[in-house]
Amino acid sequence: MSLDGKVAIVTGSGRGLGLAYAQELARQGASVVVNDVDAATAAEAVASIEGTGGKAVAVVAPVGSTETAKQLVRTAVDTYGRLDILVTNAGVLRDTVLWKMSDDDFDTVIGVHLRGTFTTVREAAIHLREQGEGGRIITIGSPTGQRGTFGQTNYAAAKAGIVGMVRTWAQELKKAGITANVVIPVAATAMTATVPYFAAAVEADAAGEPMPAFFRHDLGFGTSDDVAGLVAYLASDAAAGVTGQAIGVGGDRLQLWSHPEPVVTAYRDGGWTYDALEDEFPTLVGESLQSVGERFPALPEELQRPRP
C-alpha cells in the first residue's frame, strides 16, 4: 500500500468529504487521527476504518484554536509514534448576503476554515520539521474561493485565504521536504444538497445509483470518493514534486488551477492619471475584464427538478 507506515490527521472527518479522505488514506495503509466535534460521529468514523482493517483514533474537539491543533498532533505522535500527513478539511457555513452578515457569521467561518487551517498546519509543520523526514500538507479549498459565490463573503474569504497561505507555505517548507497543496473538490455534500441545480445528482448519490453523465463529465461533479483518490495521491511519495498547487477534482474531471497572472500590462510615461485612465482604460482593459462567480451550463430537461 502506498501509505503503509504513514500517519495522517484529517480534520472534520466524521462524515462527508472528510470521512472519505480518512477512509481512503487508511485504505492506502496510513494510520489516521479522525476529528469531529461530535463524539458519536467520530466513533462511527473510527469504527468504519477499523471495520475494514485500518487503524484510527479520534480527537473530539472544534478546530480553530491552538489547543486543538496541539491535541491533534500530540494524539498522532503518542498513538502512532510519528506524523506524516495533515489534511485540513474541517469547516462550517453561515451563508447570507453581505448586508445581512453578522460579525459572528463572519468570525465563525473564518475561525474554523482559515484560522483552523493556519493553527493546525503551523503545529504540524513544527513537528514535521523536527522529525526531519519531510511531510505532506493538504488543505481543502473551494470553487467559491477561486471565483466567489453569492451569499458567501465569509466562506469565499476563508477559502481564497487558504490558497494564499499554501503558496507561501510551499516556499517556506520546501527545504524541509514538506509539500503543501490545495484540493478543490466538487462533490455532493450537505451544501450542494440544498442547491436545486444539483438535485438529480444528489438524489442519485443518496440512492446509491450512478450520477448522470452530465454531472460527472460535463460539470465535473461527483461523490466524496471521487475526491479522496487525489488526497491520497498528494499524501504519497509519488507526489513529492508537487507543491504550491491548487488542484480541482470532481466526478470524471481533474483540473489544475492557474495562479493569478496579469492579463493586461500597459505602461505610460509619467504614470496613470485620472484623465489618462478615462481616455485609455476602456481600450486597454475593457475587453479583458474578468468574470466573477461560477457559470454553469443549462441543465438538460430530463435532469431538471421543480423548485420547492
Enzyme catalytic residues: 142, 155, 159
Please classify residue 64 by burial: count the beta carbons closer than 10 Å to its beta carbon, then call 0-12 exposed, 13-18 middle and 19+ buried: buried
- What H or E segment, with its residue span, contains residue 56? strand 55-60
For residue 214, give Cα distances in angstroms to 18, 50, 144, 297, 304: 25, 36, 21, 10, 12
**188, 223 in Cβ contact below 8 A?**
yes
Q: Which grid cell sits at 265?
A: 500590462
* Strand, coil or helix: 158: helix
For residue 57, give Cα distances in angstroms to 49, 100, 267: 10, 40, 58
Please classify residue 77 by burial: count the beta carbons closer than 10 Å to its beta carbon, then call 0-12 exposed, 13-18 middle and 19+ buried: middle
Distance CA 119, CA 110 (A): 12
The amino acid occupying position 30 is A
